[in-house]
Each structure stands twice: as C-alpha cells, then as structure tokens.
Amino acid sequence: MKPKKTHPYYTRKIEPAQIRKNMTAAQLIDECFTAFNARNFRNACRLFVDRILSEDTTIGLSVSGALTPAGLGRSCLVPLIQSGYVDWIVSTGANLYHDMHASLGYAMYEGSPTVDDRELRKNEVIRIHDIFFKADALYDTDRFIRDLFRSIPFPQPVSSAEVHSILGKELLTRWPDSHNYSVLAAAAKMDVPVHTSSPGDSSIGMNLAGLALEGKGPRIDPSLDVNLTAAWVYHAKKNKGRTAAVILGGGSPKNFLLQTEPQIQEVMGLKEAGQDYFIQFTDARVDTGGLSGATPSEAVTWGKIDPAMLPHSLVCYGDCSVYLPLFTAYALSAGVKRKPRRLWNTWRERLEYLEKAYRRSPLWGN
C-alpha cells in the first residue's frame, strides 16, 4: 500500500503536549505554543537561538517603555548582556535613569493604578501605572548624576554612549555587584555600548542640561551616536558577518536602531542590503500609524531589512512584560556559548572604518 501523500500546505501537525509539573519555559514554548501569537513567539525564540546566536551575528537591542522600573532590566536584560547575547543597545533615557535607583538604595514597589494620585503626590510617591517608588529616588539620582559629571572635564563633545559608559563604570566602582542588577553596570562591564536616540528626553539629559548652564558637564553630539551605530552594522556586514535587530516596544529607539541601514545606503551611498534578522515585541497596530517604523516588509522598502532575509523577520504582538521573561528563559536555557564582542572598546577603529568607506563614496562632498 502506497503511503498517503501529505498536502503541501500542511507543515506540522498541531498536537501539543499536555502541560505537566516541572515543565520548563522552553518546553512549554516548544511543545505547547502551537498557533496564533503563541506560535509566532515560539518561532521568534527559535530564530534567536538557532540562527541569531549561532551565527556570526552582531545583535542590536532597542528598549522602550518602562521596562527597568518593572524589573525587566534586572530579570531579563542583565542576564542577556552577561551571556554575551547583546552587542549594542539603543534605549530611552528614562529606562537608563530608573536603572540607577537600585544602586542608590531605592526599591520599586507593587502598587495600584486606582489610588488617588493627588494623595500620592502629597505623600511624595511616584507612580508608573502599578509601580510605586519614593520621590527621593529621583532627587538622589539627580544628585548622583550632577556630582559625577561636575567632576569630569569634557574638552570636546561626546556620544550618549560615552555618557552611559561613564555612568556604568561609576556604578561598578561604587557598588561592585551592580552588574548583577543594573543594565548600565552590566553593559559597562561587558563593554556593550548603550546609546539613546533622544539625549534630552529623560532626567539624565535634564541634569546634563542643568550642568550646561553652569558651564560644566558633557555636551552630547547626537551625530556621533548616529555614525557609531551605523559603524557597528557596517563593519559587521563588510567582515562576512550578519546583523540582527531585537526590538522591545517601538518608539524612537526602534527607529534609531533601524536607521543605521538608510544612513549607510542612502546618506553615505555605500553598498549594503539591510539587517539580516528582525524580531519585535509590540502591542502597537500598523493601521493607525502607531507601529513606530511599521512592519518588517515595509522596512524593506527603506533598505532597513535585506529583502532576501525577510522570511527571518518576525513581529510578536503583545506585552513585553509577558514576552521578554519567556524569551530570556528560552534563550538562556539553550546554553549557546557566545564570545562577547565588546564593541565599546573598538569604537574609534570602527568609526574610522566607516569614514574611510564614506570617503570613497561618490556622495562624499556631494
């Protein structure tokens, strides 16, 4: 009897395992996430582990939303950085500012979003939806930033990554174990550059603006960040490597990470095809114009993603506070050994590499 042919549209039978005691997060995802957003998330986890981590891929991570106040910096981002699974970062300044509170002795607390905010204000309690913390955390963190940067001379403008490296190293100096709970400290220890796309749009930038009125502190040059992030991508691609964009939320950090390819191709006139891999976790909708850079297929039209690699681009619709812990658990359980790239140690060389290529471009000087 001839075996029955399988219809080409049928790829894998939906036959999940029964959920059992002591099931790991990876087993749950692999065996039970079979359809809809669950399957898409499973595919994103496998793409990250099987291809992105296993190949010579430079991984950029963008971070928006209040992830560090929610504890996702400590629980997820720090372990990913320590494992060498993140090579460079673009974050909102707010995430990096709130990342420093714990080192200064301030905790975040579970609270209720239905509490009268007038009462909270009267009692000097700050609220981020259902996260509460003391207002003193703001004042002491402000003081920490101002005191640090008042003491350092800055003869020329610097990138936001330089500012964040200084902050991270100071955390490590004062609190040697801070790399186990602080994104800035972990990134500084692993030489992971941390950029922000809007240097003035956070309390870090606000404090630096205050220092500027005193004639002190650093002056951030956003052009340095634009060119440095492009340099991370260009050097990787021109040295037989691949690049990946892992995007948490959307907003300005997402665009700043993805604009590296238009900077290389459109502005500098250098031959390139786009990012190789793309994973995004978002609850935004594309039809309202709120998806911050839109879908991977739309990004192809801008040169942000290599058209040939579009099948390896995934958007998982849902809440980062749910997806990111599962994603991190899956990635760490795979145990992929990956040598840290320590990009921050190479920033001058990689920027020079990009500039030399641009000097040979027909757009140089035009």
Residue 240: left (phi > 0), alpha (psi -120 to 50), or beta? left
pLDDT score of 293: 59
Distance linking the first and last C-alpha atoms of the chain = 72
User: Predicted confidence band at 12 (pLDDT cuts at 50, 70, 90)?
Assistant: confident
What value does the mean pLDDT take over residues 141-145?
98
Q: What is the mean pLDDT of the chain?
A: 95
The predicted structure's pLDDT at residue 168: 98
Q: Which residues contact 99 (CB under 8 A, 6 or more apart)?
A: 68, 73, 182, 183, 184
Predicted confidence at residue 7, as pLDDT, reads 74
Report how far apart, in Å, the C-alpha atoms of 80 and of each of 68, 187, 354 are: 14, 10, 28
Long-range contacts of 235-242 (CB under 8 A, 24+ apart): 235/350, 235/353, 235/354, 236/57, 236/58, 237/272, 237/273, 238/353, 238/357, 240/56, 241/56, 241/57, 241/58, 242/55, 242/56, 242/57, 242/58, 242/276, 242/277
How confident is the model over 172-206, as pLDDT tens digits? Answer: 999 999 999 999 999 999 999 999 999 999 999 99
Least confident of 4-18, 112-126, 137-151, 244-258: 4-18
Q: Which CATH architecture has domain 25-91+173-200+221-359?
A: 3-Layer(aba) Sandwich (3.40)
Predicted local confidence at residue 28, as pLDDT: 97
Indicate whether 159 pLDDT > 80: yes
Tell me the pLDDT tens digit for each residue of 60-109.
999 999 999 999 999 999 999 999 999 999 999 999 999 999 999 999 99
- Contact in structure between 277 and 310 (CB atoms under 8 Å): no
Extents of the domains making up the chain: 25-91+173-200+221-359
Tally of CB atoms within 10 A around 24 = 12
Q: Contact at 8 Å (CB) between 64 and 249?
A: yes
Q: Is the pLDDT of residue 210 over 90?
A: yes
- Of the chain, the percentage scoring pLDDT greater than 90 comes to 92
Catalytic positions, please? 304
What is the arithmetic mean of pLDDT over 301-324?
A: 95
List for the chain the helix, strand, coil content (%; round to 5). 50, 10, 40
Task: Say how far apart CA 253 and CA 244 lie, in whole Å.
Answer: 15
pLDDT at 4: 62
Q: Residue 31: its pLDDT value, please?
A: 97
Beta-carbon count within 10 A of 304 CB? 24
Element (DSSP H or E) covering residue 244: strand 242-248
Residue at token pair 């021109």: 238
Q: What is the structure's pLDDT at 45?
A: 98
Q: Which helix (H) or strand (E) holds 123?
A: none
At residue 9, the pLDDT reads 84
123 vs 293, more confident: 123
pLDDT of residue 1: 53
pLDDT band of residue 10 (cuts 50, 70, 90) is confident
Residue 364 has pLDDT above 80, yes or no: yes
CA distance 355 to 366: 15
